[in-house]
Amino acid sequence: MAVRTIPDRTGLDLDEACARARVVAFDLDNTLARSKKPMSPEMGRRISTLTTLIPVAIVTGGSFALIDSQVLAMLTDDADRTNLHLMPTSGTRYYRWSGSDWHREYAHDMNSDDRRNVIAALERHAREQGIWCEHPWGDCIEDRGSQITFSALGQRAPIERKEAWDPDNAKKNRLAEAVGRDFPHLAVHSGGSTSVDVSQRGIDKAYAVRTLASLLDTQVGRIIYVGDRMDPDGNDYPAAMAGTIAIRVSGPEDTLRLCDALIAGLSRNAGATI
């Protein structure tokens, strides 16, 4: 299979992308915010502004609770929550604003046998590869129902430890490859700074953007998708390969600059339409 190189914000005609776009979707960890940390107030303002211009989706390997603490808590009062689409656990769940609360529209949970066996395999392979942490910051393996997530240093590890643990993604990729061989019927992806995500095959970020396009009556090629893990082993890559207008970022600071460009481009496009 040919490898697609995903452009960064300087390698794409953003005015053209904004003219085509009907949705903007973002990864969360290391795209909108550092791992498990809330978005900055500046990012909160950008995302809030974007929701007044275009439907915005959050597509993340994290749980809904993390979206709540990292994203929703940082939105400003003028954010249009009806224009916000939340797709946690790599799109295996989907939430919409009901007018008073966030309502889960669907959940594609793994069966109990697979979840139990995957948990055992993640620990076994991590120990074999010498990356199992005996004294983690919180749980190393989390059962999210629709996804099992391995966090090498624990869910609450300090951000500087996480970012230094596997800078070239080799450890995560090696673990994902080993677990994937054990469960060919499941999707196994290298996720955030220290994580590996396991879910049902065919229900990943490619599924998420295709489902989003169908729900919003648009085309996948009209969704801008922004993420940091756009390498072939990364969990954002399937969304790019699904045919989105994919943009690679290097971290939240880069995403802030991209958001400013998107807001400017979408505002010009809206002005030209009026």
The reply, when asked if residue 166 is annotated as ligand binding, is no
Mark whether 68 is an active-site residue: no
Q: pLDDT tens digit string along 82-104?
A: 999 999 998 989 999 999 999 99
The reply, when asked if residue 228 is annotated as ligand binding, is yes
Bridge partners of residue 223, in order along the sequence: 23
Interatomic CA distance for residues 53 and 83, integer angstroms: 9
The reply, when asked if residue 77 is annotated as ligand binding, is no
The reply, when asked if residue 233 is annotated as ligand binding, is no
Residues 22 and 224 sit within 8 Å (Cβ to Cβ): no
- Confidence band, pLDDT 50/70/90 cuts, at residue 272: low
With b for 16 or more beta-carbon neighbours within 10 A and e for fewer, the 241-250 pattern comes to bbbbbbbbbe
User: Distances in Å between the alpha carbon of 211 and those of 160, 203, 207?
Assistant: 35, 10, 6
Q: pLDDT tens digit string along 166-195?
A: 999 999 999 999 999 999 999 898 888 899
Mean predicted lDDT score pLDDT of the chain: 94
Specify the pTM.
0.85
Q: Of 29, 166, 204, 236, which is the active-site residue? A: 29
Phi/psi region, residue 76 (left: phi>0; alpha: psi -120 to 50; beta: rest), is: beta
Stretch 207-228: mean pLDDT: 97
Stretch 115-131: mean pLDDT: 98
The domains located in the chain, with CATH, are: 9-108+203-273 (3.40.50.1000), 112-200 (3.30.1240.20)
The reply, when asked if residue 197 is annotated as ligand binding, is yes
Residue 116 in this model has a pLDDT that exceeds 80: yes
Stretch 8-23: mean pLDDT: 96
Phi, psi at residue 35, to the nearest 5°? -50, 120
Percent of the chain with pLDDT over 70: 98
Q: Of 8, 13, 15, 27, which is the active-site residue? A: 27
Q: pLDDT tens digit string along 239-268?
A: 999 999 999 999 999 999 999 999 999 999
Q: Which two tokens stand for residue 61?
A: 């390997």
Mark whether 29 is an active-site residue: yes
Phi, psi at residue 152, to the nearest 5°? -55, -35
The reply, when asked if residue 8 is annotated as ligand binding, is no
- Confidence band, pLDDT 50/70/90 cuts, at residue 2: low
- Confidence band, pLDDT 50/70/90 cuts, at residue 274: very low
